[in-house]
Structure 1
Amino acid sequence: MSHQDDYEEDIRKTIAFIYTHQMTHYSDLVANLKVSRKKIAAYLDEIDRRLLGSKVQLVRKRNQGIYFEGDTEQIAEIFHIPSNYDGLDVHGRRSIITLNLIMQNSFVKMDNLADDYFVSRSTLERDLRAIKREVSKFGLSVSSTVNGIAIVGNEQDKRNYASRIISNYWRESIKANRLVVHLPQDFDNLIGSETLRTAQAVLSELQRVTKIEFTEYQYQSLLIHICISTVRIQNAEYLPTWSSASQALSPETSILTRLLEEAFNIQVPKSEQEYLNIHILAAKQSKLTPDDFKGQVVNRRLLNIADFLKTNIQIYDDQLINDLTIHLGPAMHRFQVGLQASNPYTSEIMRLYPQAFELAFDLSRKLDDRYLVTVDKNEIAYLALHFQSFMERTTKATVSNNKINVAVICSTGLGTARLLTQRLKASFADKINITRVLSVPNAFKAKFVEDMIISTIPLELPGQKVVVIKPLFEPKEERLVAKEITNIEDRRTRNQNSFLSLMSPTRILVSSKHLERDDAIKMIGQLLVDRDLAKIGVAESAIAREEVASTLIRQDQVAMPHAQSEYIKKSGITLLVATHGVTWGDGEAKFVFFIGLNQHAIKNTNLDAVYHRFNQLVSSDDALSLLAKANNPKAIWHQLIDFFQKRTVSD
């Protein structure tokens, strides 16, 4: 770091110390910045100079103290201080304190932490309460004794959480055809820029010798793992042996181990090698393509995953199954030891593709039940992209051919089936598209995505409406099919405003109290249970869903919690308008749209249309303002109707 960089960093630290302590003194600044009083005076003069013309003043009063006065929110902008600079950003400061406590090999004194991060003891206590809540979600706890503060938990959970923090601040650039990794300066004291450079050199040599290829995420994940593990090994903190590890170490893992031991002068225990092996295997298996499912040599584990997906996803095509299987094959290694992906687009995916995210979330629960793995929101967001691609493929096919898709089940042989399909086409050529003709045994094995099923014998297919006709298709049968076609067309028309069709005045609540997230969800859940619209446990299922990924989509406005489908008796959307707000994680919501859809609604409702209308509503500041002013369910309902009527005209 240059002399000028050192000078600017000292200026920032001076500002941070004054800002976070609200009032301080020369002696405090000298002690914490470890520079002379003369230098502190020079720093204060420079800060004074840069504040000229702003709405902020630096006040220095003898026998009173040093403090800022005025619009202190301008400080970060005036001094070009990045938002993740620990002294001025609460989230950043808490992240670095957490990482510090994880990487330490002993208890840390409260006073030392307060001094290191330029905060008062009361501010640090608030930070530690927030840190305690956050790390508890990942199996860790904060221990406070006379010896100081420490984060307690097993080594694997500590490292996983440290990886999360580092990946959130990870930035990359290309310089002279070389990848350069950037982390905030405060991370340097915990990981060390030299450690980072050495780890990169080791991976470069590994790639040169073995020709192994990493995706961007795999490289980042392995590099972070190496940086953390080398520091922990040097502190004699080792990962436990992975009891499920029956896989022999790959040759690449053995080479990586040797390179690490030589570069860092450490001994890498077998347990640590097993975890390195997980990263290597994931990289080697990431080259899977749909062709890997063909031929005589087949990966049995991948076929098991494909079979699991077909059993647990209701509507799919072959491409979705292949894409998910290829994604999950190497990912299962990471899931089983708690390694999760960092996804910079998670929030955007949740906001733009809520239906796909819910489908992916449902799959993640089933993966947990079957394989005993934990899938976090970043991984779920990656899975959601596959579901979104599937939905866009099927929607495109539907839009390009707006006919009603029909599956025909015929029990009387190929000749009769052909005659029946010809007569159906002759009568309804402009209305229907016959997608397939099935025998009865095949029908019971099939997954149906068609709009209508026509059968020559009475059949009970779960969740499907079957139109039964005679094989020769007489006028009576023709009228029966025509009636069902009309019903489907009517449903499609109603789906043009399918959002309102899922609501009613009886599903609207108004609260004049400030609420916490769980209390708001429980209030809605109780209403649904009391009206026999949902089963007991519906609120708890939505709260559990929130613990995985928050459904707050506008920081100060809207949340959309989802109930698990098995708790819903009658599908619908319930709205809570909280005039004094609902604390929702780090944000606040005034409008809580509780989505409750059972499996029948998921399969038979045009969810694209529902979410399209929902997005229109929550994207309109004017509409939300009018809803906030309406003071009772009936008035809110009329505002909703009025809004969508105007949108229908404009559409």
Structure 2
Amino acid sequence: MQQILQRLLSEEDFVSEQALADDLGISKRTVQRELDGTAGALASYGLQLQRKKKAGLKLIGPADGKEKLTANLQTASAMDFTDKHNRRRYLLFEILRDRTPKKLFYYSQLLGVSEATAASDLESLTPWLQKNNLAVLKKQGYGVVLTGSEKDYREAMRRFISETTSAEDVKELHADHEALSQAVMNVTDKGIYKLLNSHTIQRVYAVLKELHEERITHFTDAAKIGLVIHIAIAIERVASGQLQEEPSVPPSVPDDEDSALARRILKGMENEFHLSMPAIEVSYLLLHIKGAKIRYSGSSWQGPDGLDESALLGIIDAMIDAFDPQYAYDLRCDDEFIRGLFVHLQPTIVRLKHHLNIINPLLDDIQQEYASIFQKARRAADVLARALDTTVSEEEIGYLTIHFGAALERLKGKKAFTRKVVIGIVCASGFGLARLMMTRLQNKLPSHVELHTYGKDDLTESVLQETDFFISTLPLQIPGADVLRTSPLITGSELQHILGKIDTYSHIRKAPDLVTPSGETFLSALDRTHLLAREMAGLLRHYQQFTVPASSTFAQVVHTLATAATKDEEDTAHLFDAIIRRERLNSQIFPDQGFALLHCRTQTIRQSLFYTCVPDGPAFEDDYFKGIATVLLLIMPEDEYRQVHTDVLGFISSSLVNDDAFYQAILGHDPEKIRCHLQRILKTYFESALSL
């Protein structure tokens, strides 16, 4: 096209199509095809292509327009085809742009290389094309042509446009519609790499804007651009009549909100472009909508459409382990991270299963600024790739890096909390040696450290409550106190121990003075704090999961749990009877929830306990269990602290309903994950009970 336009610009008179073909060494049909669709591009220069029967073609318009076009054509023609990468990229553009058969000679002339080099360049494109299930067919006497399904061909076009898009075209987007519209134009207008008509892009965007679809407003800017490009490709393919043969019966389309949206969009496009879109276009567009990346508001926590929720949570769990075992526990306890990744992976899996590409304008920055996290995210992506039997692109890995990186930043933020640390320095009198040690330490410790000196007999209950830990030259035996014994001169290694303790205590929040509205005394508030702490620590420390044969009866399962909770046969029998009696009052088997919740209050134990019991098969076979696969036991001692036990265990029970992450962990039968969520739940209750 460039050569044809340059030839027409050099002539004042008409030039026949045959003369142009002979001059350029191409067919007359190629001249006609190359000039199809140039009207819009020429109009931007104020020029027109005038056709006159028998005379040929002529460019008409103002001189300054011709000068501007000449200058731009010279710039575009400056591509260095001696550069192998540029040459092969342009060749890929050419075979995507025009799928009609071409002789190898055509490509060798186009690129200014030998036919052998052109053949080698075509061969080098195989790996790129294979990712979209496309191939170059070479047939003697027929020429070279790109083969593959219409769906794969369109996705290859989208991928090529994405790869030739500068990050700046998308990165600097603003929320206003005009900026987004301009970005769409920038994405598709890449000089010689221009696969779509700019006017088509503008009209598609205008139709989408007029539809006012709320679902589309939740798409990220890159996803909106991808949607416009997808529709523009479809319209130009249908309008040109170049559609490749597709199945006579299109794939079935589910009856859901996304499908209804796809139909509304296509109806709007049919009205705008006066086209009849084939039924298969609904399926193509639906895939794009379901694979579109959405803005995560932090509120969505629903099962993925068409995917098994527990399987997806299992994949996330394995991805966390692969990312970094050192942070696995903390990441599993980060509810915001789990929810965010859960929402992100829903469209991601659709894209990966159907080989849909995505633009990640931040990829280069992510790879440079967060190189180590990106490599760890690659390991997590390998888990996803194996689960779906596909490959995960670097663009997708970049988005995973953002999710994992944000979680790590939150983790650092939590650990970055720093408070004042109070240290007591103890010697026999609290004056001589202790003062000397304090003087030595003052210039070596952080500014948020407060030092006090005490004699051995000065360590009152009040001092113990106010002090985080003590440094002493004497052997001190003080129940509940943290004492670090050092030499009077404090050696280098002892200083490091002190600094380590300061770092630990500075990140642990201190409980505030507790004064209740009912006038509860400080001492009684402390007692309640102690009781809660002991209760929760015991629950976490004693939690276990038991695996029994799937053929076990209800009574056998209860006996297993009662045995684990007690120390002798008599207590086991008492607890067994208590659980059975409670069950007979009102059955706690919940088949619709997938678990049984057994509980009772008993004098046979001294500590509240929480256990889970699961079968060694898919579910318990005993009819009484009604097909469930998880049994939970919550039991509390019968003593004077009844209300504390009731409140804590009641909060755990309610979390089975209110906390989906905890519920999924219970059904997932992973003891470590259950303990992680149990700790999170108990921490939430503790902070709430003490108003922290």
Which TM bucket (shorter chain)? Answer: 0.3 to 0.5
What is the TM-score when the length of structure 2 is the normalising length?
A: 0.44
The TM-score normalised by the length of structure 1 is 0.47
